[in-house]
Structure 1
Amino acid sequence: MPVYLIRHGQSEFNAVARDGIDPLIYDAPLTALGQSQADRAREMISDLNIQHVICSPLTRAVQTALRIFKDEVPITIEATHREMVCNSCDVGRHPDTLSRDFPDLSFEHLDDHWWHKGPENEHGVPHEPEDVFNKRIEDFVLRLETTATAPFTTRPLAIVGHGLFFQGLVGRLMDNCEIVRYK
């Protein structure tokens, strides 16, 4: 049974980031365009019979999943496939804060600091080393392909996540709200 990867809609960070300059938008939410992209993705997934969604805890991914799947499909928050921390938008927020913003989802199982921990730059961004990021991708693939526990076994399954992480899975950068069948 299939697994579908869905990159989040355009975030406020995506809309203004240029030339490698970090606009310092931490855990960036969706723009109006990103919301529209998610609404269009909702139409595209209508025939896929998605039974469960695994979503990154970064706000742009959560907002995308909620717009696409509404209350119709169970959503599990999973931090393993979060984005590589290399900009302010990739710095997460405490589970209590996320629970207040998204009260219908469970964040209690997340560590207080669930994004990459390490030396921070002057803006509080702990750049994630590439080898650490690649190991996280390998671990996620192994879990996705071999785990016999829910929600990873529920199919068809949608995974809502991020550009660089999905690039590590499919070999190219996906567009915002693009849907790709995994393998």
Structure 2
Amino acid sequence: MDQKLKVHIIRHAESEYNKAQFEFGGYQAATQFKYEHIGHKYDPNLMDPAITEKGIEQCKLAREKIKELNVKLVIVSPLKRTLQTCHEIFKNSHHKPIFIAQPQFREHMQSTCDIGGNIEESKKDYDYIDFSLVEQYPYQKIWTLYEILQHQQIIYEQKRMSLHKQKIEQIENVIQIIKEKGGNNQEYLQQNSHMLLLDYLKEVHPNFIDTDTETQYRSVIQRQIVKQLAKKHNIKENEDIVIVGHRGNLYQFSNEQNEINYNNNQNMYHNPNNISGVLLDNCDVQAVYI
């Protein structure tokens, strides 16, 4: 049996979206799917938001918590709130770790905050981070949508399950809708595809493109990615790996017993172990083993 790999997970600091969410009644109100409770959910002003002043203070506390670590590899979601959190925590680090923006560690895409529409700005602000995995997509402002598609294509190649083929067709259809709404104008789409995606999410509400079940399965792939990166960068036993990510995603990632099986009768995944992972508040730090 392979030796377990220790990873330190950090949820992003309080974002402008988190702040707005509480002002509109909190998470529970938002999940009731009533438009009067979700004024923030599709607010274009909260697209791929920054962290708040409170969030910056939270980063200082997180920095203290990890100051004794010998951090050599940092994997960060390419969304702005995680990138900014990562920067605030590590900006004075003397270890000079490797920073990789890994799209697989995004949050599930269900709101304006989950569309990476500020990616061009973030690439300029954090030019020391490796964004090559984001730069492969045709319209980078909807990289989250392309990541969903790519993820499903990889799984379908491995498992040949109809569920994933249907998902591929669904995402390809959404991309086509966005192109048509943008008049198939390449320049316009490069600049505005994220707003067209937001319009689509609002139109199909309360249905979602990205589900919790898919986030659960993605966590299995994420653990494989972390192990591959640890091997690639020759991370030693006395060196540390940090992931800066999101509450929902890190909850699934930290579930050591997470196992996804395919139910042929219901054409869906389920987790037979159903053991909880770690639920993190903003800028919480937790060590887990994968």
Classify the TM-score, shorter chain. Answer: 0.7 to 0.9
Instruction: Give 3-state SS (helix, strand or coil) of 2:243's partner.
Output: strand
CA–CA distance in structure 2, aligned partners of residues 141 and 115 of structure 1: 19
Tell me whether 1:99 sits opposite 2:123 in the alignment.
Answer: yes
CA–CA distance in structure 2, aligned partners of residues 151 and 166 of structure 1: 22
Instruction: Give 3-state SS (helix, strand or coil) of 2:103's partner.
Output: coil
With a CA cutoff of 8 Å and minimum separation of 6, indicate the structure with the bigger relative contact order: 1
Q: Which amino acid aligns with 1:116?
A: L
Matches within 5 A, 1:23-42: 23=40, 24=43, 25-42=46-63
Cα distance change on mapping 1:128 and 1:152 into 2, 3 Å: farther
Q: Deviations over 1:8-30 (max 9, x none)?
A: 10000011113201512111110
Tell me whether 1:133 sits opposite 2:215 in the alignment.
Answer: yes
Q: CA deviation at 1:153?
A: 4.3
CA–CA distance in structure 2, aligned partners of residues 123 and 98 of structure 1: 28
**1:122 corresponds to:** 202
Matches within 5 A, 1:2-151: 2-17=6-21, 18=26, 19-20=29-30, 21-23=38-40, 24=43, 25-70=46-91, 72=93, 73-93=97-117, 95-110=119-134, 111=137, 112=140, 113-116=142-145, 118=171, 119=174, 120-122=200-202, 127-145=209-227, 149-151=231-233
CA–CA distance in structure 1, aligned partners of residues 63 and 226 of structure 2: 23
How high is the TM-score relative to the length of structure 2?
A: 0.57
How high is the TM-score relative to the length of structure 1?
A: 0.87
CA–CA distance in structure 1, aligned partners of residues 113 and 65 of structure 2: 27
**1:173 corresponds to:** 279
Q: Which amino acid aligns with 2:9?
A: L
Give the gaps of 5 or more residues in structure 1. none
Q: Which amino acid aligns with 1:32?
A: E
Q: Which has the higher helix share?
A: 2
CA contact (8 A) 1:54 1:151 kept: no
Give the gaps of 5 or more residues in structure 2. 31-37, 147-170, 175-199, 255-276
Match of residue 160, structure 1, among 227, 234, 244 = 244
CA contact (8 A) 2:103 2:133 kept: no
Q: CA deviation at 1:122?
A: 2.7
